[in-house]
Amino acid sequence: MMETVKIDIVKDGPYIVTGSVELFDSDEKPVPVKAGKVALCRCGRSAEKPFCDGTHRKSGWSDTEPTP
């Protein structure tokens, strides 16, 4: 049975992915992820892409702003 992965879209923030996932970069290399929950950057401003590093909050990014 396939485990369900939950993705929450945080208002003015990241995607929170809950569940067992495998993440790969654009070269198809595996990106280590913490088991259980990961925050993926949605604003495009993180210095730790693809992960959220909190920059969205400091920079005042909002859902209504186009992604760079």
- Residue ranges that bind ligand FES, judged by CB under 6 A: 13-14, 41-43, 45-46, 52-56
Using the minimum distance from each CB to ligand FES, give the nearer residue, 17 or 42.
42
In the complex, what is the shortest distance from the CB of residue 48 to ligand FES, in angstroms, rounded to a whole number? Answer: 8
Residue 54 CA: distances (Å) to CA of 4, 27, 29, 51, 62: 26, 25, 25, 9, 13
Nearest to 57 by CA among 11, 13, 9, 10: 13
Using the minimum distance from each CB to ligand FES, give the nearer residue, 4 or 26.
26
In the complex, what is the shortest distance from the CB of residue 18 to ligand FES, in angstroms, rounded to a whole number? Answer: 16
Q: How far apart are CA 66 and CA 16, in angstroms?
A: 20
Using the minimum distance from each CB to ligand FES, give the nearer residue, 14 or 17.
14
Residue 19 tokens read as: 């569940």
